[in-house]
Amino acid sequence: MGIIDFVANAGAKLFGKDEEAAAAAPTPTIDVNKVRAVALTRLVKDSKLPVQDLAITVNGDRATVRGTVPDQATREKVVLCCGNAATIASVDDQLTVAQEAAAAKEAPSQFYTVVAGDTLSKIAKQYYGNANKYQAIFEANRPLLAHPDKIYPGQVLRIPPASA
């Protein structure tokens, strides 16, 4: 998929104050990039997304993710899992889809950045013409979303094709 941009100051706060303070210091005493990479790896694993040989590196505000996923939907979820973390502004997606032929036939999802006042129903109305199809967006973003009402400005969501 390449490099996907995110809102760096939105998202889950995975990194502690000590790591952020060290990153701001002229000569960091700890490798903040490694700490962030470990936190992102833990987040993906805790989300129970099936990724073989998961490897995440962080360089500043860019995360690079490698590994093998079973399908395009999982690929998109892993990228969103990393990108929706605070301080990550872009994700370099170097994941491989195990079933490339099947993935090539799948219509890719669109990505949508939530703005203030958005609801999943409002987004569903915009993309599908029917606010009641919000559940399709919710399901497409599980396990990243725990509840349909828990979205926030700056968060990036998967919008599956209307036929999905």
Domains located in the chain, CATH noted:
2-105 (1.10.287), 110-159 (3.10.350.10)
**Phi and psi of 61, rounded to 5°?**
-100, 15
The pTM score is 0.78
> What is the rounded average pLDDT of the residues 130-159?
93
Percent of the chain beyond pLDDT 90? Answer: 66
The pLDDT value given to residue 9: 61
Check pLDDT > 90 for residue 18.
Answer: no
β strands within 46-159, DSSP E: 52-59, 62-69, 90-97, 110-113, 156-159
Q: Among 12-16, 43-47, 65-69, 87-91, which stretch is predicted with the lowest mean pLDDT?
A: 12-16
Q: What is the residue-averaged pLDDT of the chain?
A: 85
Residue 154: name the closest of 108, 85, 93, 91 by CA: 85
Q: The tokens of 139 are what? A: 């399901």
By DSSP bridging, strand 52-59 and strand 110-113 are unpaired
Helix pair angle (72-83, 32-46), 10° resolution: 140
| Contact assessment for residue 20 and residue 27, using Cβ atoms and an 8 Å cutoff | no
At 69 the pLDDT is 95
Question: In sequence order, what are the residues at sequence separation of 6 or more whose Cβ sits closer than 8 angstroms to the Cβ of residue 16?
Answer: none
Six token digits for residue 59? 């360089």
pLDDT of residue 49 exceeding 90, the answer is yes
Whole-number pLDDT of residue 75: 93
Q: Looking at the predicted structure, is the pLDDT value of residue 118 above 60? A: yes
Whether the CB-CB separation of 115 and 153 falls below 8 Å is answered with yes
